[in-house]
Structure 1
Amino acid sequence: MLTSIFAVSVAGILLGLRFKAPALLAATALLLIGIVAWNYLGWPGHVTVGKFLILVFVLASAYLVGLSLPVYRNRNKG
């Protein structure tokens, strides 16, 4: 679970640096599709609804951090 939280955080920050809100919606849908496929195939590490909600929250939070990084960086330059 820790690896997936780290991966989703990095993806969220990178999305926030480059893309706007529709990309967050697409990433959330892709996360849902990936989790459903993971559970359907029966691979180890069954993902529950609670874990999915945690991952979506982490993705959205990291996205907001990624959005705020360029603003913070430009503020400190001037």
Structure 2
Amino acid sequence: MVDSSIGGKTAIDPPLGKNLIGAFWQPERSFVDLAFLETLPEREFINGMAEVIKVIKKFVFVFKVDTDSFF
């Protein structure tokens, strides 16, 4: 839910290889049903929180690099 919900990649796997036919289209909005998280086993929830931390760290790093280049 964390990292896959951000991207806009869709693809299919034809007989000749994986992800050879596809498109990129960024969504205007994303809707998330947070009640779904309550159905996850604890281990899966913890793994998801680790993904949240990774995405936040990437965002902070990219934002810092971007702003540092202007000053």
Same topology, TM > 0.5: no
Higher relative contact order (CA 8 A, sep 6+): 1
Higher share of residues assigned strand: 2
Normalized against structure 1, the TM-score is what?
0.42
Higher share of residues assigned helix: 1
Larger gyration radius, structure 1 or structure 2? 2
Normalized against structure 2, the TM-score is what?
0.45
